[in-house]
């Protein structure tokens, strides 16, 4: 199957860390991605990880991949109000296309 699942909503306080989780089902996925969508805008590519890696850090973003459990997470350190958005994970699987998750709405409160 090609289902990619995420929790719908996450609320954090400014300055805290946010962790957004994603599970996928395609074991042949080669790359996994995180995108951000702000209101009225398209998707912005944040980062991606190759399937033979288990961690990737890019400034405030840390991606963790557990290939055995098909679990991907995105940690945002020192979350700011500008990080409020919908976050999508996506996999490049056997179908030679990206399959996107359901999206997690992140709300950052002061």
Partner 1 sequence: KAGVTQTPRYLIKTRGQQVTLSCSPISGHRSVSWYQQTPGQGLQFLFEYFSETQRNKGNFPGRFSGRQFSNSRSEMNVSTLELGDSALYLCASSPLSAYNQGAYEQYFGPGTRLTVT
Binding stretches for partner 1 (CB under 8 A): 31, 35, 40-45, 48, 50, 88, 92, 95-103
Q: Measured from the CB atom, is 84 or 103 closer to partner 1?
A: 103
DSSP string across 20-86 = EEEEE--TT--EEEEEEE-TTS-EEEEEEEETT-SEEEETTEEEEEETTTTEEEEEESS--GGG-EE
Q: How far is the CB of 97 from partner 1 (least distance, A)?
A: 5
Q: How far is the CB of 98 from partner 1 (least distance, A)?
A: 7
Q: How far is the CB of 18 from partner 1 (least distance, A)?
A: 21
């Amino acid at each position: 199957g090609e289902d990619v699942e995420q929790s719908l909503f996450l609320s954090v306080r400014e300055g805290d860390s946010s962790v957004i989780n994603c599970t996928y089902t395609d074991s042949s996925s080669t790359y996994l991605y995180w995108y951000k969508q702000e209101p009225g805008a398209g998707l912005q590519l944040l980062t991606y990880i190759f399937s033979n890696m288990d961690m990737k850090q890019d400034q405030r973003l840390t991606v963790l991949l557990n290939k055995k459990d098909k679990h991907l997470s995105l940690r945002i350190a020192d979350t700011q109000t500008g990080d409020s958005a919908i976050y999508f994970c996506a996999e490049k699987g056997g179908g030679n296309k990206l399959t996107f998750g359901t999206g997690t709405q992140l709300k950052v409160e002061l």
